[in-house]
Amino acid sequence: MVARITRLLLLFQLLAAAAFAAAAMPLLHLDNALLAGLLGLGLVVMARLVITGNNFLLASRTRSKLPMQHRIGLWQGLRLFLGEYRATMTASSWTMPFRTFSTRIPARSQGLPVLLVHGYGCNSGYWHSMSLALEKAKIAHHAIDLEPVIGGIDEYSPLIHDAIETLCKETGRDKVVIVAHSMGGLASRAYLRDHGSGHVARLITLGTPHHGTALAHFGVGLNTEQMRWTATEQEGLASEWLRTLKAGENPSIYHLIVSIYSHHDNIISPQTSSHLEGAKNIELSGIGHVALGFDPDVQAMVIREVRDASARVAQPLPAHAALKPA
């Protein structure tokens, strides 16, 4: 579904560029069709730049207090913006429309297999860059598409369950590591609530709104309602769904979770919404929301966590190791 939607959006943008080029030739007295076409494409590029900039602006309105050690300068800020813009352009214009995948199992794979769970409005193509890093590290991995696109987050739990069962059968392992971006982290927590952690050695979340995000108010679908964070004069309030999720969880699962997030996230705001009490939290700076899955340093962190989880599973386990649903 998302692949078809992104292809249609690409077609719309190309038609808009062509229409502008056709209009520009007589209006601007241009004789060169190539130049007019470049101007049309430039207009689309500028529109996409404005959208990215607007996300940063919206996120700044409800942003959490920025720790001194995570403050950045002008040059780093420019790199942050351009890095996020490049990631969104790559994902929406190339990998999500044309590079979706399901399972990639390299020869002589090492360690536990990984299940990749994307976020809101994305599909498995979001993970193309991460997949290349995992392949290089010889880590088997599987990616799923969360559908319906605007459905409830609870609807994704059975999809994750089926994907884990399939991945375990295909690799001959009884445990996996889940790597989830944004909303995918919440869907993975819903899975752990429903099915326990018997098949999960670790859950690594990237920019997941564990306590909600104010920008979800601008989204469409039940899942965005469930991810909302509302600011009041006194305090912020997570959605009822998020509060219910927390109440239904076995708190012991948090020691399986590694939350990697950026203090400059332009979609999760307040940014500290990604901080999950009881989990291992890794705080970063100078990285945007979509760019988290593309950043080489983040990919290296993920691979280290996968290898660490694999090494721990290889050790003798206590009798109570597999947690049950609360």
pLDDT digits (tens, 9 = 90+) for 73-124: 999 999 999 999 999 999 999 999 999 999 999 888 999 999 999 999 999 9
Cα–Cα distance measured from residue 21 to residue 301, given in angstroms and rounded to the nearest whole number: 45
Q: Which of 72-103 are b and which e, b meaning 16 or more Cβ less than 10 Å from the residue's Cβ?
A: eeeeeeeebbebbbebbebbbbebbbebbbee
Retrieve residue 180's tokens. 């989830």
Q: What angle do CA 253, 258, 264 make, to 5 degrees?
A: 135
Instruction: Name the CATH topology of 98-314.
Output: Rossmann fold (3.40.50)
Long-range contacts of 230-235 (CB under 8 A, 24+ apart): 231/62
With beta carbons less than 8 A apart as the criterion, state whether 62 and 269 touch.
Answer: yes
In this prediction, residue 235 carries a pLDDT of: 73
Can you give the pLDDT at residue 321? 42
The pLDDT assigned to 234 comes to 59
pLDDT of residue 319: 46
Q: And the tokens for 218?
A: 């601008």
Taking 70 as the pLDDT cut, the residues of the chain under it are 232-234, 315-326
Q: By CB neighbour count within 10 A (0-12 exposed, 13-18 middle, 19+ buried), where does 281 fall?
A: middle
Please state, as a whole number, how many other Cβ atoms lie within 10 Å of the Cβ of residue 66.
Answer: 14
Q: Give the pLDDT of residue 322.
A: 44
pLDDT of residue 326: 37
Chain centre distance of CA 280: 18
What torsion, rounded to 10 degrees, do the Cα atoms 6, 141, 321, 309 define? -110
Q: Please choose, from the candidates 129, 83, 139, the residue with its C-alpha nearest in 3D space to the C-alpha of residue 106.
A: 139
The domain limits of the chain are 2-97, 98-314
The CA R_g of the chain, rounded to the nearest whole Å, is 21
User: In 3D, which of 280, 252, 281, 258 has the Cα closest to residue 193?
Assistant: 252
What lies within 8 Å, CB to CB, of 319 at 6+ separation is none
DSSP-derived pairing of the beta strands 200-206 and 257-262: parallel
What local confidence, expressed as pLDDT, does residue 325 receive?
42
